[in-house]
Amino acid sequence: MGRCYPHQNLRERRKLAKWLEAQISVKEIADNLCRAPSTIYREIKRNSY
């Protein structure tokens, strides 16, 4: 079986949106959320238009 990774919750997604709007780097956002930068990039790609 594969590994189980926790998904980002609504609170984390709202923080991510606020920090992206403030032009904080993805590396800093990942550090603040204790996530890998690749997870943040994936979330941005998944939820951008």
Q: Give the pLDDT of residue 25.
A: 97
Q: Give the pLDDT of residue 6.
A: 76
Spell out the domain ranges in the chain.
10-46
pLDDT at residue 1 tops 70: no
CA distance 1 to 13: 28
How sure is the predictor about 8, in pLDDT bands with cuts at 50, 70 and 90? confident
- DSSP structure string for the chain: -----PPP-HHHHHHHHHHHHTT--HHHHHHHHT--HHHHHHHHHHT--
Query: Region 2-11: what's the mean pLDDT?
Result: 80
CA distance 12 to 1: 27
Place of tokens 């189980």: 4
pLDDT tens-digit profile of 14-45? 999 999 999 999 999 999 999 999 999 999 99
pLDDT at residue 5 tops 80: no
